[in-house]
Structure 1
């Protein structure tokens, strides 16, 4: 069997863990790992923690309890901080959080969440998504700016290490651009939708490892809903008050699991 021509990178290992590789590339990655026990052990640890996270986020009947979700997010962030004491740290954090929750619930009853706590400021990459969307609107108004509707998710992943979600069947790609940002290359995709009109799907690697469920950002002349899975963050952006952006974001997020 001939050697692997395309070298296996960290992005390929991340995509392997996230089930984002085709069969031939998975075989190449597995051949790479079979000759590197330390890398294989690290990937197996990531696979186990990924499955633990999915189970925790699924919760009972598909809805995660707040304590379970928080513990799962702590587990996911542990991947980026090293693995030497990861298991012990996660177990201690979960136990302490659950015990504190039970104690507080028994003393003062169920705790309520204030509106300030429940509505945090959106992350910085949402501003990047809004700026990219405004640029797309400018391009739309200029006949001299040719659209680039040819969309190749594999090429985008290879060039930027950004895994794009699968689009609904009735979404039509009108333009795809790679823009610079403070975080590195970002992908801005202009999509025509039946229910929401022209929307932008924005993707970027913000430099943090996290799991953020689809969340609607404060809207004015621009509406947006953002989410993050692992090292890649996404935002669905539209002009004006647009309903169902959060539902669209949830649909896109599900295709990444």
Structure 2
């Protein structure tokens, strides 16, 4: 449902500060889902606020007084909705300085190394891929190659990407997952490469670009647009090809 009132910058700031009513919040989220560049900036603002809250809750309690005071001033400014690019840079710097000070003080480390784990839905996608391969080896399990994207959207609220014409859909199943109903599509790509396209609503609004991750001999390219997350999974050794295919699928959703 399209909002009759235009979405203003003040609405975006109120969304980041969690100061909107449910109806207006839904309208802002619909606007963000149609404007990925603005949505990406909003997610960056939310990330900055989250980092500051965590820093103020724990890390900076052990830091220097001037660092804690700087963080409090930044948190106060963010709470009033004055979120600008320069403020983001300052906030990120404060967080990094505080984290580095604690690491040096408690661990004697000269640098901080962070590792980013893929979202939980990627694990679901990889498991669904394995189940799909298993089904393909069982004559008693009938594969369903025909599917209706409109019916899937109506039943699960999941919008499926446009499948390339050169791909052959071999099976489509609605799987249970930790997040609710998910869609697992088994396809054959170029050179008969077996691919699995997984889609689910992970329970959070986000805009994530296509990212490649490897687990054992399986690779997955995952992304999220609004409230729906996707993963393209395969055992191909060519990760760059898998990522290119995922980016093409992602573009078909806009």
Same fold (TM over 0.5): yes
Output the CA distance in 2 between the equivalents of 1:168 and 1:76: 35
Equivalent position of 2:215 in the other structure: 219
Assess if the C-alpha contact under 8 Å between 1:220 and 1:241 holds in 2: no
- Is contact 2:32–2:226 with CA below 8 Å preserved after alignment? no
2:234 to 224, 232, 238: 238
Aligned to 2:126: 130
Distance verdict in 2 for CA 1:88–1:165, change over 3 Å: farther
- Identify unmatched segments of 5+ residues in structure 1: 1-12, 18-37, 58-68, 78-86, 104-113
* CA displacement at 1:92 relative to structure 2: 1.8
Aligned equivalent of 1:193 = 189
Kindly report which structure 2 residues correspond to 1:1-257, keeping only aligned pairs within 5 A, or say none.
Answer: 13=1, 45-46=28-29, 48-50=31-33, 53-56=35-38, 69=40, 71-74=41-44, 91-92=82-83, 94-99=85-90, 117=114, 120-195=116-191, 197-243=193-239, 244-257=241-254
CA positional deviation for 1:142: 0.8
CA gap of 1:74–1:175, structure 2 versus 1, over 3 A, is: same
- Runs (4+) off by over 3 Å: 38-51, 53-57, 74-77, 87-91, 98-103, 114-117
- Which string of whole-angstrom CA distances, capped at 9 and with x for unpartnered residues, describes residues 18-45 of structure 1? xxxxxxxxxxxxxxxxxxxx99866654
**Deviation string, structure 1 residues 58-104 (Cα, Å, up to 9, x no partner):** xxxxxxxxxxx5x3424689xxxxxxxxx98664264510455799x
Deviation of 1:215 after TM superposition, in Å, equals 0.5
In 2, Cα distance between equivalents of 1:174 and 1:181: 21
- The alignment's TM-score, normalised by the length of structure 1, stands at 0.63
Structure 2: gaps (5+ residues)? 4-20, 48-77, 95-110
| Structure 1 residue 220: Cα displacement | 1.6
* CA distance 1:98–1:50, shift in 2 (3 Å): farther
Q: Aligned pair in 2 of structure 1 residues 39, 217: CA closer, same or farther (>3 Å)?
A: closer
CA distance in 2, matches of 1:232, 1:214: 13
Distance change in 2, residues 1:124/1:160 (3 Å): same
Change (3 A) 1:215 1:116: farther
RMSD: 3.3
| Higher Cα Rg, which structure | 2
Number of positions where the alignment pairs a residue of Structure 1 with one of Structure 2: 191
Mapped contact 1:49–1:75 kept (Cα < 8 A): no
Distance 1:192 1:237 in 2: 12
Q: TM-score, normalised by structure 2?
A: 0.64
